[in-house]
Amino acid sequence: MPFLRVIDLETTGNSHTDGGVVEIGWQDVVHDGDAGWTLTVGPQAMLIDPVNPISAATSAIHHIIDEDVAGAPRWQAVAGDILRAAPGPAPMALVAHRAAFEQRWCTRALTGGLPWICTWKGALRIWPEAPGHSNQGLRYWRRPAGLDRDVGLPAHRAGPDAYVTAFHVRDMLAAVSPETLIAWSAQPALLARVPYGRLRGRRFRDLADEDLATLAAGERPDGDLAFTVAQERTRRSESHSASAETPSPPQQALPI
């Protein structure tokens, strides 16, 4: 049965160079014939020994301390089997919210080169009108059907966060195919609003052409911003061309 494995990591740093994984959570979403995409029983989670001490700053987020991970397995010893769902068949793809963060630790050597779905990038395209696109923000704005509030708590623990993300990807798959989500996830994010500067918070579709030009020539290069500006310019150009190619209806002669 085709399935996706949704994962979430809690760590003690921003990448493998300055910290390690302290917990991994996962929740599978399966394609069950006529029932479509549904969540399996779960979620599951495992504490991980990050080798180095857990910083107070990161404990304040996920509330995992050194004593909690004493005697837990090391990341390299268990990550590959969890990510690839060994010894069974591998998932179609791995899923995470803002997947670029998880990919700092989930290397190709551990995943076997599985494709990724980023639910943040998917949400920006499918629900651009959302007031925010964080995992928890979408949870309370969308109120996904079937989500058990207690199972999805506490936030910022790997199992509950993976569970919440799984509902987002389940509902995205009611609108587009897994292949579309994978393709979107391999591209820069198509932002809904300007992320910084004097135009911060403005929707790209509402900006004047002059504002788009200003953003394109900005001093802060940003892959997502540049991609979004280029896509919006293309959309406007195609819309203008389509309007120009549509012949105007014949004018009726006025009675004399």
Give me the helices (H) in 86-174, please. Answer: 99-103, 108-111, 119-126, 135-142, 158-172
Angle between helices 158-172 and 135-142 (to 10 degrees): 60
Which residue's structure tokens are 């509402």? 206
**Are the beta carbons of 123 and 168 closer than 8 angstroms?**
yes
- With b for 16 or more beta-carbon neighbours within 10 A and e for fewer, the 230-247 pattern comes to eebeeeeeeeeeeeeeee
Total-model pTM: 0.91
**Are the beta carbons of 188 and 124 closer than 8 angstroms?**
no
End-to-end CA distance of the chain: 74
What does the pLDDT profile of the chain (256 residues) look like in tens digits? Answer: 899 999 999 999 877 777 899 999 999 999 988 889 999 998 999 999 999 999 999 999 999 999 999 999 999 999 999 999 999 999 999 999 999 999 999 999 999 999 999 999 999 999 999 999 999 999 999 999 999 999 999 999 999 999 999 999 999 999 999 999 999 999 999 999 999 999 999 999 999 999 999 998 876 667 999 999 999 999 999 887 777 666 655 555 444 4
